[in-house]
Structure 1
Amino acid sequence: MKKVTTLFITVMLCSCSGIEFNTNLGAYVGSKVKTKGVKEYSLEEIDQYDATPLGFIEASYCQEKPGERKPTRRALVNDLKVKAHGLGGNGIVVESCGKSVAAICQLYMECRGLAYAVPERKGSP
């Protein structure tokens, strides 16, 4: 009986070795980690560093139906941070962020900014 139990457990473990679990949790956690590593600066603050501009970034959201979530500045700035991280940046300056009208949207919001590689220490005065 002991050999049969051992054989059964061995077969079960081997047959389950190729099982994968897929969730969207990885994407959520990945974007949270990326946004934590990117800081938002004002134009005055970024001028105090020897920061290197990496490129323009933009994010937008369209609320197509009244029941959908509404766009927020915070969510769009987080999207900008993820994009800045993708460019190798650790800082952003949001140049504009606002709501506007779009044909198929109940509410449309767009933010634009610039991604930067910001050193840890401030530059020389």
Structure 2
Amino acid sequence: MKKTATILIGLLVLGGCSNLNMTTNISPAPEEALKTYKVEEYSMAEIGRYKAESLGKVSSSFCRTRNSQPKPTESLLIGNLKYQAQKRGANGIVVMECVDHKLNNDCAEFLRCDALAYRVDFDTL
């Protein structure tokens, strides 16, 4: 009940920002990102305790080319990893690595994160 109320309040607050437009070179759109709350992040040791099917690797990166763009953060990219995993039918991810390095002169700041997507079966714990 408390979780439902929290989500409802969050959606109402976000609804008040419906005229806000944010443009980035990373997906998902903010309204799509809200759907990823069903995807949990696990460590490799944790995922080993569950009956989990690997659905493959997901990867996300962000190149900051202008100062007006937000700085690349792990939380931003992990949200994108969860979105990609959910599109594959996953409900969990294991982040393998996040690395920051400069690709070229056009990319002032760069961050890439890789994860494994999993479908965790909670019915057979």
* C-alpha distance in structure 2 between counterparts of 1:112 and 1:96, whole Å: 6
Query: Which structure 2 segments of 5+ residues have no match?
Result: 1-19, 23-28
Which residue in the other structure is 1:14 paired with? none
Which residue does 1:109 correspond to in 2? Answer: 111
Is 1:62–1:107's contact at 8 Å kept on the other side of the alignment? Answer: yes
* Contact 1:37–1:90 (8 Å) recurs in 2: yes
Q: CA deviation at 1:36?
A: 0.1
| Aligned residue identity for 2:49 | Q
- The aligned residue for residue 9 of structure 1 is none
For the pair shown, the structure with the greater C-alpha radius of gyration is 1
% identical equivalent positions: 35
* Residue 79 (structure 2) pairs with residue 78 (structure 1): yes
**TM-score, normalised to structure 1's length?**
0.73
1:48–1:122 Cα contact (<8 Å) kept: no
User: Residue 44 of structure 1 aligns to a residue in which SS?
Assistant: helix
1:46-66 Cα offsets, whole Å, 9 max, x none, are 000010000100000000012
TM-score, normalization by structure 2: 0.73
Match of 1:63?
64
Change (3 A) 1:59 1:109: same
Q: Find the counterpart in structure 2 of residue 95 from structure 1.
A: 96
Runs of 4+ in 1 over 6 A off after TM superposition: none
Residue 120 of structure 1 corresponds to 122
Corresponding pairs, count: 99
- Aligned Cα root-mean-square deviation (Å): 1.9
Shift in CA distance, 107/29, structure 1 to aligned 2, threshold 3 Å: same
**CA 1:24/1:68 → structure 2, altered by over 3 Å: closer, same or farther?**
closer
